[in-house]
Structure 1
Amino acid sequence: MLKPIYSLVLFLFLSNFSFAQNASEVNIIPKPKQVTLTSGNFQFNPETVFVAQSEEEKQAAQVLIERFKEAVGWELQMTTETKAGNSVQFEKSGGLENEAYELKINENGAIITASGASGFLYGIESLRQLLPSEIENIQQTTSEVAWKVPALTIKDAPRFQWRGLMLDVSRHFFKKEYILETIDRLAFLKMNTLHLHLVDDQGWRIEIKKYPKLTEIGAFRVDQEDKAWNSRSENDPEEKGTYGGFYTQEDIKEIVAYAQKKGVTVVPEVEMPAHVMSAIASYPWLACDDTPIAVPSGGIWPITDIFCPGKETTFEFLEDVLTEVMALFPSEYIHVGDDEATKTAWESCASCQELMVKEDLENVEELQSYFMKRIERFVNAKGRKIIGWDEILQGGLPPSATVMSWQGVEGGWEASKQGHDVIMTPTFPLYFDRYQGNPDYEPLAFDGEITLKDVYDFDPVLDSMSVAQAQHVLGAQANLWSEYIPTEAISEFKIYPRLAAVAEMDWTPKTATDWSDFSKRAQHLMKRFELMGIQYSKSSYAVTAAADMDLENRKIKIKLENEFPRAEIRYTLNAPLDASAKRYKTPIELKKTTQLQAAVFKDGKQMGDTLTQDFKFHKAAGKQIDYLTKPHKNYPGNNSSLINVLRGSKNFHDGQWQAWINDAMEVVIDLGQTEEVKSISLGTLENQGSGIYFPVEIMVLVSQDGENFKKASTFSRAYKANSSSELKDFRVDFKAKKARFIKVIAKNATDIPNRGNGFLFVDEILVE
């Protein structure tokens, strides 16, 4: 029997647990550090007043005042006089940390306590997320909504000081208005850093008064947007660029001032010594050989046109540029890039070699370190600090530099060991230019898939770090590189809802994070995104199908999944899909040609795209196949990949693809017995940006004995530029023939401009 004291404790625990479980309206992201629920609620009405004394309190109050005006039509008032009830009040407390806040709500109203502007703002944002989601409506709601918030106390503070998003505005330019919208959304998620990648090979995006050609020439490139990013031709330096744009210094001042009101620091990045072809196109003397070049329209690799450290004029230029940049951006940090520099020009440059002798530098890696240490001294002298990508470690890390670790987490681990601050931005899972789900249903992206759960599961502090190393982790940042982001709508699609996972990663104590709990709150948040007009991705609701082929028995087992726990998946076989479809519970077995459709449903409504997959049991399915030319070692699939009924996706790393590059594909299929055949279809992929091209010729030959083959038909097509990623079956028809063996030869594209030979990717050979 339990003793009375233990019985009482257990009763209180279970009571609190039960109450919390019923408080479904508490769906704040990022999850607060501490929430204590009490009974009752407070309801806003047209007479609710905001009591604010200081300017920072008034700015915070204005967030909700504007929301009520836009979503409801109310003109809520602000006063400096304390009100006894029906009010939202602010109290200043020096005892709280800079970004911490306390929010207390009872039936009379709410009180937000903080030590400064950020805390007041975050308190308001939490109060905002406690309101019904209709508060986010960008058009006035016509429904009757009870504007209630639950009675509770929140005590909250961030885990990390750096909670960021990087926007690459160089590869594709985003307008000032979009930057301002992004700042609003960062503040909504309690994120405090916007890193602007203002300079890269393909565009210089910030006005520099002393060097006007940087924007007259460097901000614009020849328009080749109809071609794949990595298949664009080299431009003539004499041809005027028309595609691009830049921010004036007045634009930058407006962006920075707006961000300051929202508790967001804007950190500029001025790349060096590489990723600067836009600067060299403007001023050729910045390079070692003074040769005129054009602003490139697409991908460049390796990056050999870089700044020359052997010329004193290069450092004069950079100091002038940084002086103007620092006058516009009051941030503590200035990002200076320092990544992906191919330094072959330095090795043959007389000025660089002379400098290396003078400074006793052994190699060009040490010359790069000299370059960055000199820039660091200049920036430090102005009272600022530099950040560099993790290549800044090469040749020796500048004394006070902060490292942004992108090539995995190793750079961050090493920098923290050396006593340097680090910001974790590893490609996986924080590069948002990757797909969020099945590439067949998403805009073109870089290779690979990074789901919402992948982001949420990452921890910036590694298990292998010591306590001292962990203290050097400033936080984490999502990066959106824009090679494949031509529009602001696609930018939004890539950022949301994954940014919410970064927000919680950076804010919430690790011990309080839980994917199941977050996924529930994320679904509420996505409803808010919809009302806010954000074109977010619904890939988290996507259904994925994992299929296994039993070749011997010619049957397939299909397992359906969704990343949200306990998702309601419904499916059909050879029938239209709706809410009445069968609910998925166990793997589905198929033995004949079938079209599968599946989707996630919630409360009778379909939540994401419909997964549609055709499983075609053709005559070659499960038969013997011999490879006369071997697939590329990086994309070997398996011995049955081309006749296993399972199809590949636009994610060419999904294991269903086999690839050839220097040799044509040549295979022989043994049907096991003589069959009448009249066509073959070759399942292929084209992604020219990744060097993958449709075949230019397909030849089909047939045989009874496997030795003597006769041509059945040939299909030919010319190479064509294609800027998208595309799946396509090429069908070759011929007069019906009796055959046991079928030889298929498919030739890949060769001599492609700026590429050479291209990959041929094949996932299935369908025989009919």
Structure 2
Amino acid sequence: MKLVKILLLFIALAAIGCAKKENPSFTKDDLVLIPQPKSLKFNNGSFEVTKSTKIIIPQDSLASVSSILNDLFKKAAGFELETSTEVTSENSIQLKINSEIAKEAYELKVTSENVILEANSKLGFVYGLETIRQLLPKEIESASKISNIGWYIPNVEISDAPQYSYRGNMLDVSRHFFGKDYIKKHIDRLAFLKLNTFHFHLVDDQGWRIEIKKYPKLTEVGGFRVDQEDSHWNARTKNDPDAEATFGGFYTQEDIKEIVAYAQEKGIRVIPEIEMPAHVMSAIAAYPWLSCTGEPIAVPSGGVWPITDIYCAGKESTFEFLEEVLTEVMELFPGEYMHVGGDEATKTNWKTCPDCQRRIKEEGLADADELQSYFMKRIEKFLNENNRTLIGWDEILEGGLPEEATVMSWRGFEGGWEASKEGHDVIMTPTSHLYFDYYQGSPDHEPVAFNAFTPLERVYEFRPVLDSMSAEQKKHVLGGQANLWAEYVPTEEHSEYMLFPRLAALAEVVWSPEEQLGWEDFSVRIRKMMDRFEMMGINYAKSAYAIQPESDIDLETGEITIKLKSEFPNTEIRYALNEEELTAESSVYESEIKVDTDTKIKAAVFSNAKVMGPVMDKTFQFHKAVAKPVTYKYPYNQSYASTGETALVNVLKGSKYFKDGRWQGWIGNPAIVTIDLEETTTVSEVVVGSLEEQGTGIYFPQHLKVEVSKDGKSFKEVASLKREYQTNPGAKIENFELKFETQENIQFVRVSIEPLAKTPNGGGAWLFLDEIQVK
């Protein structure tokens, strides 16, 4: 009997040992999906992908989509999944055609036995597989084999479809050329985020990037410029047409075919942009007869404004050239759309060109604006005859919109609103939200960018449709697109930095249902997604982690209160004062920091004892005028009021971004500021902080003067400084020091700051100040 019991116990233990192990379960907090799907349900358990797992496809034409997973597994897991059309129910990832599902939609069900992905198109299967990719551990993105990891997919049920049909990104490869391999890598990343359109900006003043067989000089001459990369974009000199041009590159027609075919496999349509009538100096450099004057010019190496070297709209040879170019381009890009630019054409030459004036007269046009409308309508007619739809920037509205054109609204939402009212399709790409050549963090710790600000949260706030649109107008809004212009983007790594993570924010707002969108939830998921970006080798920006200091003054005590925050909510901020080292053990920021003397503050966002973004390192310099009463002879401009009457004595300095809320601005008047020190004080110096950003009309002062008084009535001059105008292409901050010959015992300080009398263009100059220090 005892032997029987022992035997039964042995059998029971053996059965337990042989039982199939339970796969782990997951929760929403464990996973990161961007864009978030339309509906998501979590179930217990998970499916494990092993080297014996099969991908089952319904037809051979879908075999290529298996590479979305297999390319990853080959590198990260060291095995490739067998692809078969033979149905097997267990240990498989099954792709099934479901004719009831919309074109870009998919349904995904994961159980511990198998994964079933249903869709009605190749696009749907691509998006579903990209979702499976994001459900797998982030290590699946590794470029080398990883051992001791289970490749688990959580048991979920997902039903998903996009909100908008156009979900795009534009890369400018004219200002700086990026090679074919980077373009293909970028296409992969668009697909990863379920974006479906790559807008390929192939032509601009600074480079022609696509081979045209009939006009070889377009790339031989137009594809290269004189190398001035060591100078700021807007400080580069005009090139001699005979100077050696070595900087640039172009895509052969074979390169273009390869890129387009690659994009099609990933579910990405490629829309080429062949600019006209402006942004074409590269073409005119190759063939001067395309302009009104016929004079030789060089491909410019940097910024050009205004853009007057444009195609001649009066010559028939211009249209013959463009039709022949577009014919070759259409053979390479089979899609519906052709982008032809249409923006920023300064028509100075058209107004004096005999050919253009003859055209205006013969066609019964009112002026040069209508001539541009004629130009675009004629190109549209040619494209329509070849079954293509013209897309243009919103300037094509001026003078009359081509009949079937689609408008890309970039100067805000207004162009899109107007075009949709006229019954035209619209793609929203406003500078306010979707220009990724703008700074995404403080210029104090960002690479040089266009001097405007588009942080991550601003991108996430983008919505393609406006409340003021009618129901019919809203139907014409196809979606949205982010643009990365490349004047300040010289490398692939820099390109990635400007695109990510902002591109993920756009991807979600054009895919996910609007009622599901929420910044706080997204900010949690994108922080986790950054870990995956790391594994993917993406040089993403950590700008949203940057510390943003704010200050308030207690006018009674002269005490400054410093507040610290980051763009991401609910972050762990640690800080150190003065000479303390900033470490994972430093003080946690929980409430305002009060200071009443010169104080250096170092601060950063931490997570798991690791610094997550840029370290703020600022010295808040106290001086004798801090929190003292200030009066103004001429009021500051209300558009640039900063914090009001305490702005110039609040210790907090401005950044190189003129809209950061820390600069006070004047135009048309000098800044004449009187500070009451409230008691007799020894003073020997005044320091005035000023900003210059000539591209936006902000200039350093021309003359500064300090006067002092004991009674506030009788003033005497104690220091002055004059400076000559200097060309400065970038943003620059300077502290102007006005030292007294002797110390003065006074109560009142009056500082007069004269702006530049007239800008080089003849307009008024802005004067921007952030602090007046009295020492």
What residue number does 1:319 align with?
323
Contact in 2 for aligned 1:228/1:689 (Cα 8 Å): no
Further displaced range: 68-77 or 408-417? 68-77
Contact in 1 for aligned 2:429/2:435 (Cα 8 Å): yes
Q: Distance in 1 between matches of 2:421 and 2:726?
A: 51
Q: Distance in 1 between matches of 2:301 and 2:632?
A: 40
Q: Distance in 2 between matches of 1:472 and 1:713?
A: 61
Contact in 2 for aligned 1:229/1:689 (Cα 8 Å): no
Which amino acid in 1 is paired with 2:487? E
Contact in 1 for aligned 2:58/2:97 (Cα 8 Å): no
Shift of 1:185: 0.1
For residues 42-74 of structure 1, give each alpha carbon's deviation from its aligned partner in whole angstroms, at most 9, with x where no partner exists. 112232222235344322211211112212323
Which amino acid in 1 is paired with 2:98? S
* 2:302 corresponds to 1:298: yes
Q: Distance in 2 between matches of 1:737 and 1:603?
A: 53
CA shift in 2, pair 1:630/1:464, >3 Å: closer
The secondary structure found in structure 1 opposite 2:30 is coil
Contact in 2 for aligned 1:715/1:732 (Cα 8 Å): no
Which amino acid in 1 is paired with 2:611? Q
Shift of 1:101: 1.5
Q: Distance in 1 between matches of 2:396 and 2:242?
A: 35
Q: Distance in 2 between matches of 1:731 and 1:363?
A: 53
For residues 512-568 of structure 1, give each alpha carbon's deviation from its aligned partner in whole angstroms, at most 9, with x where no partner exists. 222222222212211100111101111222232222223443122333333333223
* 2:280 corresponds to 1:273: no
Choose which of 595, 599, 612 in structure 2 pairs with 1:590.
595
Further displaced range: 538-547 or 577-586? 577-586
The secondary structure found in structure 2 opposite 1:24 is helix
Choose which of 742, 751, 773 in structure 2 pairs with 1:766.
773
What residue number does 1:11 align with?
none
What residue number does 2:47 align with?
42
Choose which of 648, 651, 654 in structure 2 pairs with 1:642.
648
What residue number does 1:621 align with?
626
Further displaced range: 582-591 or 433-442? 582-591
The secondary structure found in structure 1 opposite 2:29 is coil
For residues 321-378 of structure 1, give each alpha carbon's deviation from its aligned partner in whole angstroms, at most 9, with x where no partner exists. 1111111111110001111222222222222222222222122222211111110010
Q: TM-score, normalised by structure 1?
A: 0.90
1:77-88 paired onto structure 2 within 5 Å: 77-88=82-93
* 2:288 corresponds to 1:284: yes
Q: Distance in 2 between matches of 1:691 and 1:98?
A: 50
* 2:67 corresponds to 1:62: yes
The secondary structure found in structure 2 opposite 1:298 is coil
What residue number does 1:93 align with?
98
For residues 171-223 of structure 1, give each alpha carbon's deviation from its aligned partner in whole angstroms, at most 9, with x where no partner exists. 22222221111101001011110001111122211111111221222222223
* 2:516 corresponds to 1:512: yes
Contact in 2 for aligned 1:231/1:754 (Cα 8 Å): no
Contact in 2 for aligned 1:274/1:340 (Cα 8 Å): yes
CA shift in 2, pair 1:527/1:728, >3 Å: farther
What residue number does 1:364 align with?
368
For residues 355-402 of structure 1, give each alpha carbon's deviation from its aligned partner in whole angstroms, at most 9, with x where no partner exists. 222222122222211111110010011111100111111121111111
CA shift in 2, pair 1:746/1:177, >3 Å: farther
Choose which of 651, 654, 663 in structure 2 pairs with 1:657.
663
Choose which of 103, 119, 122 in structure 1 pairs with 2:127.
122
What residue number does 1:456 align with?
460
Contact in 1 for aligned 2:602/2:616 (Cα 8 Å): yes
Q: Distance in 2 between matches of 1:714 and 1:470?
A: 58
1:244-643 paired onto structure 2 within 5 Å: 244-574=248-578, 575-625=580-630, 635=640, 637=642, 638-643=644-649
Shift of 1:259: 0.7
What residue number does 1:12 align with?
none
Further displaced range: 711-720 or 116-125? 711-720
Which amino acid in 1 is paired with 2:507? A
Q: Distance in 1 between matches of 2:556 and 2:335?
A: 65
Q: Distance in 2 between matches of 1:284 and 1:626?
A: 59
Q: Distance in 2 between matches of 1:135 and 1:613?
A: 40
CA shift in 2, pair 1:641/1:516, >3 Å: closer
Q: Distance in 2 between matches of 1:752 and 1:233?
A: 20
For residues 622-670 of structure 1, give each alpha carbon's deviation from its aligned partner in whole angstroms, at most 9, with x where no partner exists. 3355667876786465444332212111211123224578888665655
Q: Distance in 2 between matches of 1:345 and 1:712?
A: 50
Contact in 1 for aligned 2:26/2:44 (Cα 8 Å): no
Contact in 2 for aligned 1:385/1:400 (Cα 8 Å): yes
Contact in 2 for aligned 1:592/1:616 (Cα 8 Å): yes
CA shift in 2, pair 1:513/1:672, >3 Å: closer
Shift of 1:703: 6.2
Q: Distance in 2 between matches of 1:753 and 1:229?
A: 19
CA shift in 2, pair 1:258/1:482, >3 Å: same
Q: Distance in 1 between matches of 2:506 and 2:274?
A: 25
Shift of 1:720: 7.5
CA shift in 2, pair 1:94/1:490, >3 Å: same
1:665-704 paired onto structure 2 within 5 Å: 669-687=675-693, 689-690=695-696
Shift of 1:111: 1.8
Q: Distance in 2 between matches of 1:270 and 1:93?
A: 39
1:19-38 paired onto structure 2 within 5 Å: 22-38=27-43
What residue number does 1:3 align with?
none
The secondary structure found in structure 2 opposite 1:150 is strand
For residues 127-174 of structure 1, give each alpha carbon's deviation from its aligned partner in whole angstroms, at most 9, with x where no partner exists. 1101111111223335x3221111122121111111100011112222
Which amino acid in 1 is paired with 2:333? F
Shift of 1:288: 1.6
1:716-727 paired onto structure 2 within 5 Å: 719=726, 725-727=731-733
Shift of 1:750: 9.0
The secondary structure found in structure 1 opposite 2:228 is coil
Contact in 1 for aligned 2:49/2:152 (Cα 8 Å): yes
Give the percent of matched residue pairs that are identical in Structure 1 and Structure 2.
Answer: 53
Which sections of structure 1, spanning at least 5 residues, go unmatched? 1-18
Which amino acid in 2 is paired with 1:407? R
CA shift in 2, pair 1:746/1:544, >3 Å: same
Contact in 2 for aligned 1:163/1:191 (Cα 8 Å): yes
